[in-house]
Structure formats: C-alpha cells, structure tokens
Structure 1
C-alpha cells in the first residue's frame, strides 16, 4: 500500500514539474527586441531623398574578411547590422556597381548591453554614433541622423551620392 502512495506522489510531482516548467511568450524572441540595426538613407547633391537603382553593401565585422550583405535595388533606405563585440566602430563599404569604386565609411559608437528576456537574452544599443567617410566615391559626403540606435524606426546616417 505504501508503494502506491509513493508512486502517486511521484507521478503528481512529475506532472506539477512539467506544468510549471512550461514557459510563456517570453521564450520566443519574436517581437523585434533583438539588437537593432543601423538605418541609412540616401540623398542627392541637393539634399533630397533619392532612390538608388542598386547598392552593394559589405561590412567588416572584425574577422579580417568582408561580409557581403548583398545588393538592393530601387530603395531609399537600408538597415545594416553593426558589430556586437566590444569594438568601438564598424567599417561599412558601399558601391553602386559590382565592378565600380567602393566607399568606406567608419561608424563609431559606444555600446550598452540590455537584458531583454530569457528567450531573447541580451541586446546591444548603440549610443554616441558618429561617422567618417574614409574613402569617397561613389559616396560623396555623410550626414549624421539620430545619434543612438535603440530601435530600427529612425534614420541614423544619410549617404550623399
């Protein structure tokens, strides 16, 4: 008889353990609360927003090799992920044609780590953004936008072509 009591107690304990271990919605990071990307937009010489027929973007994430982020066509803006290590800058390369000249832009910042949830972990926010055009052509000049990245709703950098 005591064996049945212990067996029922064991089954009840396992059931309660399984029931309490089920997580809620915070187990899945689907609400866009990951590390935000740099928002860039394009302007012409007159300062008006322009649409680029093609833009090739590559980024140096600190490995020594450029990561090709691909080509976009007929866009007025683009989102670019920055480095998530403790480096104070990210080098981004832009060109209009696959065989054309390439501009190098260095985006400097300070990072701030923020805990989001058990499912999402930690995200980085970027503060004190500044940019420098190291190699002009095809990008002619830069204009800084919002100097912090907390979400992807604002433009942080304008490229003049």
Structure 2
C-alpha cells in the first residue's frame, strides 16, 4: 500500500511539472488578423443601427450575424491560397445583400510551435458590385498585419 501511495504521488507531481509553458497557448493576438471595417455617412464615422455580414470562405456562405449599434466590425478573410474573399452586406432584412469583393495577396509568417503560421494580407483593395444602402467603399490601410487600423470604410 505504501508503494501505491508513492506511485500516485509521483504521477501527480510529474503531471504538474509536465504542464506546458505559455508557448502552448496562442491567445495573445498572434493568429491571423481579421479585417476592420468602419462605417461612414458623409465624412464622419457613424454607428449603424444594424448590419448583417455574410462571407464566402470557399466552403460555403458563413453568416457572421447581425451586429447592432456598431461603428465598425471585424471580418475574417480566407486563409487558403485564394486571392479574394467575397462578403455580402445588409442593413435591413428587406433589402438584397450588397456584394463586396476584397482582393489581396497573402504572406505566411511563422509565429511559434503552438500557433504555427499566420497569414498577413497585403495590397488589400475592394470592388463593390450593385449597391443598395451601401453606396461606396473607401480604402483605408492597404495591408493587414494586426487588427489596430481600419482597412475599409463603408459609406452609407
């Protein structure tokens, strides 16, 4: 019985000691950044009452949901080798979605063993198809390395 307690104690101590360091967790913003989109009316940043964004990530449409009373949103872009992501924007349930095609080139960067590789996006630009409540799209920062700067401005 004494050896059994010693064996359990050794297992408990080794499981505590073998716990990984902070390098095992990739949660400090080191992953692939999302694109920040802000909203304008005229030349002024504005809050929208509601906006729904749906994105095509190559595996089908993904509904990113309705956002209420926001002045900006974060939209993930495709992480495969596609040179574009298509998003669809609605401000009401009655209108048809407006399609915005976001073009870019990707650059893979190694982060760490736990995080692996992240994508940075360069030469970001957009093309607006038929407009509804979304009148135009203006370019912000044309590369995405983190989520600090606004990349696109949607003019309503």
- The bucket for the TM-score relative to the shorter chain is 0.7 to 0.9
Deviations 1:63-93 (A, max 9, x none): 2x31100000000000000000000000010
Match of 1:26 in 2: 23
Matched, 1:57 2:61: no
TM-aligned CA deviation for residue 22 of structure 1: 5.1
Counterpart pick for 1:98 among 87, 93, 101: 93
The alignment status of 1:140 with 2:138, answered yes or no, reads no
Normalised by the size of structure 1, how large is the TM-score? 0.84
Q: Which has the higher strand share?
A: 2
Please give the secondary structure, in 2, of the residue aligned with 1:79.
Answer: strand
Shift of 1:145: 0.1
Gaps of 5+ in 2: 1-9
Which entry has the higher C-alpha Rg, 1 or 2? 1
Partner of 1:83: 78
| 1:66 is the counterpart of 2:61 | yes
Encode CA deviations 1:18-69: one digit per residue, 9 max, x unaligned: 96x653211100111110000000001x211111000000001112x31100
**Alignment check: 8 A CA contact 1:91 1:107 kept:** yes
Contact kept? 2:95, 2:132, Cα under 8 Å: no
2:103 pairs with 1:108: yes
Which secondary structure state, in structure 2, belongs to the residue aligned with residue 154 of structure 1? coil
C-alpha distance after superposition, 1:87-136 (max 9, x if no partner): 00000100001232211000000000011111111100000001110121
Please identify runs of 4+ aligned residues in structure 1 that moved more than 6 A. Answer: none
Contact 2:86–2:100 (CA under 8 A) maintained in structure 1: yes
The Cα RMSD (Å) is 1.6
